């Protein structure tokens, strides 16, 4: 039971990294275009995903 929980915790932990990486790439594209509203929204989303990552990493401990 503990092994399966560790595996699910690990998969949840990895997925936010990919999401935050893609959002960082999108924010770079918007910085070139100069669309500040979209950039701020995407930064808020990335902060939320980072918080989710902190929560999932604390559960795996």
Q: How many angstroms from the chain centroid is the CA of residue 16?
A: 4
Q: Hey, what are 42's tokens?
A: 């995407």
The predicted structure's pLDDT at residue 29: 52
pTM of the model: 0.28
Where are the chain's structural domains?
2-60
Summarised one tens digit per residue, pLDDT across range 6-59 is 444 444 444 444 445 444 544 455 455 555 666 666 666 767 777 777 767 666
**Can you list the alpha helix ranges (DSSP code H) found in 1-61?**
2-33, 36-60
User: How far is it, in rounded angstroms, from Cα 60 to Cα 6?
Assistant: 7
Residue 44 contacts residue 20 (beta carbons within 8 Å): no
Q: Hey, what are 26's tokens?
A: 């999108």
């Amino acid at each position: 039971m503990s092994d399966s929980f560790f595996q699910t915790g690990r998969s949840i932990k990895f997925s936010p990294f990919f999401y935050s990486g893609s959002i960082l790439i999108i924010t770079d594209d918007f910085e070139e275009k100069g669309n500040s509203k979209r950039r701020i929204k995407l930064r808020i989303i990335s902060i939320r995903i980072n918080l989710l990552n902190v929560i999932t990493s604390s559960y795996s401990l």
